[in-house]
Amino acid sequence: MALRRRINYQWRLFLPIATALCIVFGLIIFYQYKREADYRTKVFNAELDIIDSRILDAYRQDINLRSFLAFIQQFFQGSIFDGVRVSVYRDGRLYYSLGTPIPLEMDEVDVLRSHMVGMDDPETPTSERIVGRDDDQLYFFSKVQSDDGRVDICTAMPYSEHVHDAIDIDHTVWIIIVIALIATLIIAYFATRVLSRNVVLLREFAYNAASGGKVREDYEFPRNELGDISREILKFYHERNKSLEAIKRERRIAIHAIEEKAKMSRQMTNNINHEIKTPVGIIRGYLESILADPDMDTETRTRFLERMLSNVERLTSLLNDVSTMTRLENGADMIAVDRVNMHDLVYQIDYDLPANNLAGNMEFSFDIPLECEVSGNYSLLQGMICGLIRNAALHSGGTEIGMKLISENERFYVFSFYDNGNGVGEEHIPHLFERFYRVDTGRSRKMGGTGLGLPIVKSTIVSLGGTISVHNRSKGGLEYIFTLPKWTGKE
């Protein structure tokens, strides 16, 4: 309500300007009117001077003044000076008079000096221009004396309506002045409108921004300095909002990531508990059987002990895999990165396969250039490749395993690890890197898998700055495509 009660900014800007313009125009009009009136009065008095001068010239030239004054009366007939009164005194006695005689003594006329239109002429000190009043009639009055002092000429012009019109300013001038004033006010109005538009738009923006309303992006601020400032404010506001939105979005992502990580940790803990319970339960069952039957034959006891050992080894592998996953996920920033020659690494793994029987009955081959050097960790990469080999040997059902370099760019090497086994159903492909995920749960458990082999492989690649994906080969089996960053010597 307070905003509505206030005078519009344009009017608060326009009214002082309009008032100042009116005052300036008023002063100019007053000055010009007075100046014009004085000028016209001087012109009128100058005409009276001419009459006096001509009469004096006629006197000097010894021209009959009576005839000359008759000529003057005839000459001015019908003009503005029609009705002019002229009295000629010679040696103090009235010699001739045109119209009613004018008293020679100034005291006989109520003379209004200094406040009247006529002013003394400094060039003719013997001449007096005044406005006098005689019988309630206002006159322009002039008195001139000859050089020899014998002749006095008094001239009076009644201040008639015609004289007033001649002296007064033409009404056209007032019309022009009023039109000029109106035009100036109109220009001032539109000028203040342009100036105030910026403030109005800026106020609207500030109000919407403060009240949480929608702030438009298409404010058309005027092309001036204030408009430039307003556009910068609007730009800063939108950039600030975008930054806040980005911060909120990143915060939501971070919170979601934390929640997902907590969820995965809980899921992993539950899965670990479940995976641990199975071998522990088996071991406990065999121990209870042995303890409950002291007379158990040696062959059965040995079989029970071997199964207990197998489950202990399975439990040990599970704990090792969990330890590796924890180290990769929580300590990825602390992994030591060095130059690793992939050819030498894979060659060593291939060399050790017959001794550790990691590939089982499958044949392993590789094709990697001698100078293929990546930025990685030797032990982690070795464990990752061995994990892929072991996973293929346990679950693929094929006869061949291979690894080769398939492409490279300025930053990464792209490797392929494949087998010629049975592959998996397409519905399982998106889940192969999930923890404890098994395509065939019973078969996997029977063959000794912990369900963490492929998740460890992915975590290793990601922690070293690479990517990995998997798909079924057209010729059968699975193919893993993974990237590793090149060694640049700047790590």
Classified as helix, coil or strand, 474 is coil
Task: Locate 338 and state its tokens.
Answer: 């060095």
Domain identity same for 22 and 146: yes
pLDDT digits (tens, 9 = 90+) for 47-70: 777 888 888 888 788 787 777 777
Q: Is residue 191 part of a domain?
A: no
Q: Is residue 185 part of a domain?
A: no
Q: Is residue 203 part of a domain?
A: no
Q: DSSP strand E in 45-102: where?
A: 85-90, 93-98
173, 190, 212: which is the final residue of a domain?
A: 173
Domain identity same for 278 and 354: no
Task: Locate 212 and state its tokens.
Answer: 């949480």
pLDDT digits (tens, 9 = 90+) for 224-283: 666 677 777 777 777 777 888 888 888 888 887 777 767 766 666 666 666 667 777 778
Confidence of residue 467 (pLDDT cuts 50, 70, 90): very high
pTM: 0.44
Give how many domains the chain has, as a whole number: 3
| Per-residue pLDDT at 270 | 64
pLDDT at residue 184 greater than cutoff 90: no
Q: Is residue 400 part of a domain?
A: yes
Percent of the chain with pLDDT strictly greater than 90: 14
Indicate which CATH number applies to the domain containing 387: 3.30.565.10
| Better pLDDT: 238 or 187 | 187
pLDDT digits (tens, 9 = 90+) for 136-147: 567 777 788 888
Confidence of residue 484 (pLDDT cuts 50, 70, 90): very high
| Per-residue pLDDT at 403 | 95
Q: Is residue 303 part of a domain?
A: yes
| Per-residue pLDDT at 46 | 78
Confidence of residue 480 (pLDDT cuts 50, 70, 90): very high
Domain identity same for 29 and 125: yes
Confidence of residue 341 (pLDDT cuts 50, 70, 90): very high
| Per-residue pLDDT at 264 | 64
Whole-number average pLDDT of the chain: 77
Q: Is residue 186 part of a domain?
A: no
Q: How far is CA 407 from CA 228, 411, 474, in A?
A: 53, 11, 20
Q: By residue range, what is the domain housing residue 279?
A: 223-308
Indicate which CATH number applies to the domain containing 280: 1.10.287
Domain identity same for 75 and 124: yes
134, 150, 173: which is the final residue of a domain?
A: 173
| Per-residue pLDDT at 296 | 83
Domain identity same for 150 and 286: no
Domain identity same for 436 and 366: yes
Number of residues in the chain: 491
Q: Cβ-count burial of 292 within 10 angstroms (0-12 exposed, 13-18 middle, 19+ buried)? A: exposed
| Per-residue pLDDT at 116 | 35
pLDDT digits (tens, 9 = 90+) for 140-166: 777 888 888 888 888 887 777 767 766
Domain identity same for 262 and 121: no
Indicate which CATH number applies to the domain containing 78: 3.30.450
pLDDT digits (tens, 9 = 90+) for 208-227: 776 666 666 666 666 766 66
Q: Is residue 183 part of a domain?
A: no
276, 308, 340: which is the final residue of a domain?
A: 308
Domain identity same for 16 and 114: yes
Domain identity same for 285 and 342: no
Domain identity same for 353 and 458: yes
Domain identity same for 273 and 357: no
Nearby residues of 51 by Cβ (< 8 Å), 6 or more positions away: 72, 81, 84, 86, 155
pLDDT at residue 106 greater than cutoff 70: no
Q: Is residue 26 part of a domain?
A: yes
Domain identity same for 291 and 406: no
